[in-house]
Structure 1
Amino acid sequence: MNQTKLFLTACVSVAMTAGSIATANAQDNITLRFADWMPESAFTTSYGAKAFMKKAEELSEGRISFQYFPAEQLGKGSEALTLLNSGVADVANVAPAYLSEHLPLSGVVELPGMVTDSCTAANKFYDLVQPGKALYEAEFKKKSVRPLFTANLGPYRILTNNQELSTPLDISGLKLRTAGGAMAMTANRLGANPIRMQGSDVLPSLSRGTLDGVFWGLISIEDWSLETALDQMIPNLSIGSFNVTYSISDRAWDKLSPENQEALVKAGQHANQNHCDYVNRAEKQAISDLEVKHGIVPLYLPEDELRGIREDLTQVHEDWAKPLEKRGLPANKVVREML
């Protein structure tokens, strides 16, 4: 082969190699559509979603980017699994309380007393939704999604409007918003009438008087402007919590390179810690702000009364687990691993 032919052959080889690298790099770059039902003003958006996206972009060196759709732009919280399975979204805020018919075991975080420290609860739940673990195998795997980030909104408390509370027994007969599932069972145990509704519907319902109060995390009251429609709270009784995940569809996950998969996993772990650290810092300040700035009067229960209520509410754990166990779901195991 003469020198000219050798040179041309080498050029072709280099060009083919360069083209193959360019194609690989192009395939490595991906934009993920992220559906979130929470508003941009929510602390979970700031300390969770935005922290997650920023870290994923950083760890992937720009290969991963996001189209972010907050505030129900792509759909409500109850539609999150449909958005993922249909391909409308690649990543979505999947809240088990809004999908209790699909993710009943994941409602364990809503049980009374289950969340006292946000990071402890978030880390335990995160472990349970990893491949091979109880919640992933029993629920998320069957829905063709995998959680990358998990968080709770801190301990939920009882808050009311235009009601005279001197004890939790005074909520008997009141219409209280819960997220459904286990939290509704807690309301029933306390004698209240649980009303399940999306977060965006709560303020108008309180203002119209169709709700008497809420089970809600104190640090997110202002995010939803609920401080204008509430006047009393019980800050030292934890009646459950609300849990969220940022989950990716298997369809989207399987298209990612191993490097991009690893970047998303690490970004989720970063956001887990970032979010729960904030929640743990914020609640004490929230109690003060709600009282001083907004006139929401705190009712602190004496320790002996608290102890009796907590003991009584452990019955909710058993009542919640029993029907799930009958369906062949490992509810008692999940409760034990979360406690």
Structure 2
Amino acid sequence: MLKLLSYVAGAAALSFGLLASAPQASSHTVEKTLRLVFDIPMNHPRVPYFLAMAAQVARDTSGQIKIDPNPGGKIHPGFASVEALKNGDADLTFVNASNLERLDPRFGFINLPFTIDDTMMAKAETRDGIVDLLDSLARPQGLRVIGLMRGADQLLVFRDRTVNAVADLKGLRIRVAGAGIYQDIMNGLGAEPIVLPIPELKPSFARGTLDGVFTSPGAWLSQLDMAAPRATHAPGLMMITYVLVVRTEALDSLEPSGRQALLDAARLEISDNWERMNADDAAIMKQMAGKGAVLTTIQDTAPWRAAVAPVVTGYAQRHSQTWAEFQRRLHAR
């Protein structure tokens, strides 16, 4: 965890010290500021990767391109960040991929249960293929997907409940980050999905309007901590991802060298750090256990797979072409 905290401090210093650390652009260079919006809190362990990407772009463009995170401190929760891009109020967003399903339900392939895992996603060609498929769906929306961030192999966390089986979830009000596949998964498990973006998670849990939360280790630690000391992990149930989305117009407005610098930084600091983010989550789980949290890991996931199998088959039937493309990229050699 000390390594993670060190990375947080270093990335923040790099990003917010852009003007001091990056060489100054020449008088003939047109400087460009890209407005980046995201809704996860600044103490979330994924934020340092955003900031490291911003710092990398500034260095590689000699300060010509600057990325301004959440300008004016304004937060666009959940789908509102996608709307900010569509409306021209932002240029880039890191957003939970579930929010893209509101643009086009075909995006749901990335959220399907028991499909992607860390072994598959450790391969650069697999990540590149999936980013390419996401990007092909985004282009008609005037958007581009240029990065894919490991969100988490999701957890179910609770205040005082122990969940050992699918039946234990029956009727429980469980927070999910977005509509679509998230909801389908919870419905398949017999729970009641409550859609809430991350800024609304903590207050809703405190008010008692939720029985549990479907979330990442990072949000467990940064948002709930020991207010929710019990967690259940059914490995593979849902590997959530964050996508880095840019307005096509904003990307095209960059000089070729600047555009390439952004694409390179997105890959280096975001997509290619999948395994590092996995290690971050393992450290968080260890930290929570050290505080006294109790984690139940489901050893036999067969009943869980059976409960949500219709989510996958239903998607494959509704969107057969995208499903086939997804499978091709997922199992590329």
Range class of TM-score, shorter chain:
0.7 to 0.9
| Contact 2:37–2:70, Cα closer than 8 Å, also in 1 | yes
Q: Deviations along 1:102-137, whole A, 9 cap, x unmatched?
A: 04222323222234318817953543333xxx4322
Say yes or no: does 1:221 pair with 2:220: yes
Correspondence for 1:251: 249
Q: Deviations along 1:58-101, whole A, 9 cap, x unmatched?
A: 22122211222179715223122322233221222243312422
Correspondence for 1:298: 295
Correspondence for 1:314: 309
| Contact 2:157–2:231, Cα closer than 8 Å, also in 1 | yes
Distance in 2, Cα, partners of 1:288 & 1:171? 25
Please give the secondary structure, in 2, of the residue aligned with 1:188. helix
Letter in 2 for 1:145: L
Shift of 1:319: 1.9
Question: Compared with structure 1, are the counterparts of its residues 70 and 62 closer, same or farther at alpha carbon in structure 2 (3 Å cutoff)?
Answer: closer
Correspondence for 2:29: 26
TM-score by length of 2: 0.82
Question: Compared with structure 1, are the counterparts of its residues 218 and 95 closer, same or farther at alpha carbon in structure 2 (3 Å cutoff)?
Answer: closer
Structure index of larger Rg: 1
Correspondence for 2:111: 110
Correspondence for 1:6: none
Say yes or no: does 1:75 pair with 2:76: yes
State the Cα RMSD in Å.
2.6
Question: Compared with structure 1, are the counterparts of its residues 50 and 264 closer, same or farther at alpha carbon in structure 2 (3 Å cutoff)?
Answer: same
Letter in 2 for 1:184: Q
Letter in 2 for 1:46: P
Please give the secondary structure, in 2, of the residue aligned with 1:278. helix
Give the share of equivalent positions with the same residue, in percent: 21
Letter in 1 for 2:90: A
Deviation above 4 Å: which 4+ runs of structure 1? none
Distance in 2, Cα, partners of 1:278 & 1:161? 29
Correspondence for 1:91: 92
| Contact 2:134–2:145, Cα closer than 8 Å, also in 1 | no
Distance in 2, Cα, partners of 1:164 & 1:71? 42
Structure 1 gaps, min length 5: 1-21
TM-score by length of 1: 0.80
Letter in 2 for 1:306: T
Distance in 2, Cα, partners of 1:258 & 1:196? 40
Q: Deviations along 1:279-324, whole A, 9 cap, x unmatched?
A: 221232222222221x32222333xx32343355333211233333
Question: Compared with structure 1, are the counterparts of its residues 59 and 191 closer, same or farther at alpha carbon in structure 2 (3 Å cutoff)?
Answer: same
Letter in 2 for 1:42: H
| Contact 1:203–1:229, Cα closer than 8 Å, also in 2 | no
Structure 2 gaps, min length 5: 1-25
Correspondence for 1:331: 323
